[in-house]
């Protein structure tokens, strides 16, 4: 009888092994497939990550490129804006320079820009005098003179009064302040500070410009005053130029007179005010004007004729004599005032046609005509406001002027005294007369009724104290 398979252990073990081997192979295949699939997934993910990174990098590069373009545009715009700003600043500096130059040029042409045809105003002034008298006439003159003459374009401050018995017009005029003169000669752009810096004008130049402006203003107003008034009504015009300012020592308002001049119509007609080479300062000197030696510093002078602002009337006294009390010290008056005092003295003594010459000292070089029924001759006069002895060189210089003018006589007058050498020279010369301080004091008392002092530091040899006190 054949045995049962269950009873054959070797066959069962082999079948089991085969089954296990098949299962292991299947497991290995599945594991391999799973690993392959996982590898494919990992590869795909890696590629996806790489693609995403590439996309991000591309995006970042594009964004960086756009940012660079934006920054470049901004930088170029900033550079353009800076360039335009610099150009504007440079243009503003140039414009400011031109404005300063134009203002000074306007001062220089103040006389040539004046109105030459005022015939209509002249007729109106005459009618106002006929209808309303001196006050209406003075008012109508001021209406013309108050028209703007400077670049500011504002009406000028002007007062006037008219004395028909003297046929004289007195004008008080407000002069421009020192601030009208540009203190900068030009302007330049400073890139390092990004600002416009002024180029200061020299102080001496500023003062000279202002001095010429004051002189031109006076000449212009004198000219316009005569052109505005009928010749049969006005023979002479007195101009007093004041300026409103603050006293730097006290801070209080002041209004000093910087220039005063009395001119006749005939004398002014002799002037060529349109001449480009006309020196306004020398021109005023030829008119015997009293001009402040330092107008920019507001050094005041006494007016030729005082002007009563409360009543618009003349004061009783005229010229520099009006400002002197009974005991005025001659050594304290200004050179210009001393000049006018001497002029008035010799005019009162009978001399005519006084003409002031250019002089660099503090006295007066002048030529006068002595009119006599039998003969007339020219006299050269020189005045010295000295406190010490007048040297021989003054007499020698006067003799030279006398010969140059072909004068018949010369007078040397001083507030002090002369030495022996001067007196001996004059005696030998024969045509020069010396007038010392005590002689001048006596002449002022005789011809002008003035009792003056001369405060010499010491009594001259041979004098008594009462000779000068």
Model's pTM, two decimal places?
A: 0.56
CA-closest candidate to residue 280, choices 351, 222, 197, 365: 222
pLDDT digits (tens), the chain, 469 positions: 555 555 566 777 888 888 888 888 888 888 888 888 888 888 888 888 898 898 999 999 999 999 888 888 888 888 888 888 888 999 999 999 998 898 888 888 888 888 888 889 899 999 989 888 888 898 889 888 887 766 555 567 888 889 888 889 999 999 999 988 999 999 998 988 888 999 999 999 999 999 999 999 999 999 999 999 999 999 999 999 999 988 888 888 888 999 999 999 999 999 999 888 899 989 988 888 888 888 998 888 888 765 543 333 332 333 444 444 445 788 887 776 777 788 778 888 877 656 554 444 434 456 777 666 555 677 888 888 888 899 899 888 888 888 877 778 889 999 899 999 999 999 988 889 999 988 998 888 888 888 888 888 888 888 877 777 7
Number of Cβ atoms within 10 Å of the Cβ of 178: 19
Start-to-end CA distance of the chain, whole Å, equals 192
Cβ atoms of 197 and 129 closer than 8 Å: no
| Residues in CB range of 350: below 8 A, 6 or more apart | 370, 371
- What's the token pair of residue 65? 């490129």
């Amino acid at each position: 009888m054949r045995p049962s398979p269950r009873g054959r252990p070797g066959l069962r073990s082999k079948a089991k092994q085969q089954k296990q081997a098949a299962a292991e192979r299947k497991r290995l295949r599945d594991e391999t497939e799973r690993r392959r699939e996982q590898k494919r997934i990992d590869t795909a993910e890696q590629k996806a990550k790489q693609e995403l990174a590439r996309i991000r990098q591309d995006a970042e590069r594009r964004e960086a490129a756009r940012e660079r373009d934006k920054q470049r545009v901004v930088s170029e715009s900033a550079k353009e804006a800076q360039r335009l700003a610099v150009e504007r600043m440079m243009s503003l500096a140039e414009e400011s320079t031109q404005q300063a130059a134009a203002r000074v040029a306007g001062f220089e042409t103040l006389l040539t820009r004046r109105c030459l045809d005022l015939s209509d105003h002249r007729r109106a002034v005459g009618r106002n005098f006929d209808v309303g008298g001196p006050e209406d006439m003075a008012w109508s003159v001021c209406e013309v003179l108050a028209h703007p003459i400077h670049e500011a374009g504002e009406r000028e401050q002007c007062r006037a009064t008219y004395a028909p018995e003297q046929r004289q017009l007195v004008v008080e005029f407000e002069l421009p302040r020192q601030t009208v003169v540009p203190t900068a000669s030009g302007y330049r752009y400073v890139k390092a500070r990004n600002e416009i810096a002024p180029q200061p004008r020299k102080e001496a130049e500023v003062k000279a410009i202002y001095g010429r402006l004051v002189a031109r203003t006076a000449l212009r107003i004198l000219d316009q005053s005569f052109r505005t008034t009928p010749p049969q009504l006005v023979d002479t015009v007195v101009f007093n130029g004041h300026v409103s300012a603050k006293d730097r020592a006290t801070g209080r308002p002041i209004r000093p007179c910087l220039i005063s001049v009395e001119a006749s119509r005939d004398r002014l007609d002799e002037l060529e005010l349109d001449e480009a080479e006309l020196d306004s300062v020398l021109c005023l000197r030829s008119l015997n004007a009293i001009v402040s030696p330092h107008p920019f510093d507001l050094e005041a002078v006494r007016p030729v004729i005082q002007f009563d602002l409360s009543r618009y009337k003349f004061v009783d006294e005229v010229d520099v004599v009006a400002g002197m009390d009974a005991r005025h010290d001659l050594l304290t008056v200004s050179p210009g005032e001393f000049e006018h005092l001497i002029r008035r003295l010799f005019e009162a003594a009978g001399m005519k046609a006084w003409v002031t010459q250019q002089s660099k000292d503090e006295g007066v070089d002048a030529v006068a005509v002595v009119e006599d029924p039998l003969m007339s001759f020219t006299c050269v006069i020189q005045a010295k406001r000295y406190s010490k002895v007048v040297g021989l060189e003054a007499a020698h210089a006067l003799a030279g002027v006398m010969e140059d003018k072909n004068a018949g006589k010369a007078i040397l007058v001083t507030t002090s005294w002369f030495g022996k050498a001067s007196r001996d020279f004059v005696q030998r010369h024969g045509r020069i007369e010396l007038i010392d301080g005590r002689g001048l004091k006596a002449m002022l008392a005789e011809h002008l009724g003035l009792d003056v002092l001369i405060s010499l530091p010491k009594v001259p040899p041979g004098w008594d104290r009462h000779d000068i006190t």
